[in-house]
Amino acid sequence: MRILVTGGAGFIGSALVRYLVSINAEVLNVDKLTYAGNLASLKPVEGLRNYRFLRADICDRVAINEAFETFQPDYVIHLAAESHVDRSITGADDFVQTNVNGTFTMLEAARQYWSNLSQNRKAFFKMLHVSTDEVYGSLGDRGQFEEVSPYDPSSPYSASKAASDHFATAWQRTYGLPVVISNCSNNYGPFHFPEKLIPLMILNALDRKPLPVYGTGCNIRDWLYVDDHARALWLIVREGRPGEKYNVGGRNELRNIDVVNRICSLLDELSPNASHYGDLITFVKDRPGHDARYAIDATKLETELGWKAQENFDTGIRKTVEWYLENGWWWQPLRDRVYSGERLGLLEKA
């Protein structure tokens, strides 16, 4: 089985690549290596015969065409994207370029490749477009996002992902390209770039720096351990029906402040200090357009395809904190040279 993965040097993409290589699939990882792409996350698969890397921009049609032609994938799993909401507020150009134009390029290259395949291979080929629950907008106190929930994105990031989902659907409906879409809730786990809530809190705490919680900390997210997402993606690309969407979520709804408190108590236990890590929590100005609550109904994926998350938040967050405590070799260079924790995404200075 040959799988072309885009964005495989990122957080979720690298978890997926490590997983696919471990089950003996042949993987080509196509990644531009932006600030968020990190080949160190792929050390476990480096040099293995069933793993290849191509540094390329998904907006570069010539390079992408060539990747399709030389690698001859059976499946494409498309994750490459700009992914940080705060950065999209500061400047949306790269989000439109990569998430919208890049997805368009991937769809066109896939269509050209697929239409020239033999009947047998054509019937087998599938492309999975990986998206987010943020396309659905914000929930009130009740309810969950279902696959039929209307799109209502709030941030430049989620608007660009929503646009890319619509392109993917249109390519399936108009050209018959076998595309399936997944919309997943917030992921967490090892190798997560330290601009996102969970790794930022762990690393700031270890540096005895303030733990900035946006607004009142009451915004709710539905957390999924990244390896559970990787397993879901592999299942969806094989078993998912073209033209369908599948929601992916861990049924782990938590307020941000509860996530941060949980991290602090784990650090108190695993890396004790004279004072409690929780004393570092600082409430800061809220993110503009901050969605109140996300919650995913993953029933379709569970009942139609038989997926089930293996981790709950307690087991997953413990593994995650332990991993950061043991893997400074991975995150220290990023904290020193790429992003050291400064506030992003405010309309005016804090």
State the angle between helix axes of 313-326 and 197-206 in degrees (0 to 180), rounded to the nearest 10: 50
Q: Sign of dihedral through CA atoms 49, 51, 55, 56? A: positive
Q: Which of 87, 126, 161, 293 binds ligand NAD (CB under 6 A)?
A: 161
CB of 346 to ligand NAD, least distance (A): 20
163 is a site residue for ligand NAD (CB under 6 A): no
The span of 34-42, 45-53, 168-176, 202-210 binding ligand NAD (CB under 6 A) equals 34-42
Closest to 246 in 3D by CA, of 184, 174, 171: 184
Within 8 A by CB and 6+ apart from 205, the residues are: 211, 263, 264, 267, 277, 280
Near ligand NAD by CB under 6 A, which window of 4-12, 148-156, 330-338, 340-348?
4-12
160 lies in the binding site for ligand NAD (CB under 6 A): no
Question: Do the Cβ atoms of 31 and 55 come closer than 8 Å?
Answer: yes
Of 4, 27, 31, 87, the residue at the interface with ligand NAD (CB under 6 A) is 31
- Catalytic (active site) residue 66: no
Q: Minimum CB separation from ligand NAD for residue 152, in Å?
A: 16
Please give the Cα distance from 163 to 80 (Å, whole number): 15
Q: How far is the CB of 89 from ligand NAD (least distance, A)?
A: 15
Q: Which of 4, 11, 249, 300 binds ligand NAD (CB under 6 A)?
A: 11
Per rule CB under 6 A, count of chain residues that contact ligand NAD: 31
The nearer residue to ligand NAD, 203 or 280, going by C-beta atoms, is: 203
246 catalytic residue (yes or no): no
Return d(Cα 314, Cα 179) in angstroms, integer. Answer: 34
The yes or no reply on residue 9 touching ligand NAD (CB under 6 A) is yes
Distance of CA 110 to the CA centre of its chain: 21
Backbone φ and ψ of 195, nearest 5°: -100, -15
Six-digit token string for 224: 């999924």
String of contacts with ligand NAD for each residue 174-203, x by CB under 6 A: ----------x-xx-----x----------
8 Å CB contact between 199 and 331: yes
Amino acid identity, residue 340?
S
Cα–Cα dist 138/151, whole Å: 10
Q: For residues 249 and 187, is the Cβ–Cβ distance under 8 A?
A: no
Is 157 among the catalytic positions?
yes
Q: 27 by DSSP, 3-state: which?
A: strand
36 near ligand NAD (CB under 6 A): yes
- Give yes or no for residue 320 binding ligand NAD (CB under 6 A): no
Query: Which of 17, 19, 32, 125 is in the footprint of ligand NAD by CB under 6 A?
Result: 32
Nearer CB in complex with ligand NAD: 29/204: 29
Contact status: 280 vs ligand NAD (CB under 6 A): no
What's the rounded Cα separation, in Å, for the pair 310 and 183?
A: 18
221 binds ligand NAD (CB under 6 A): no
What's CA 348's distance to the chain center, in Å?
28
User: Which region among 44-52, 116-124, 127-135, 274-282 touches ligand NAD (by CB under 6 A)?
Assistant: 127-135
Catalytic residues: 133-134, 157
Q: Which residues bind ligand NAD (CB under 6 A)?
A: 6-7, 9-13, 31-34, 36-37, 57-59, 79-83, 98, 102, 130-132, 161, 184, 186-187, 193
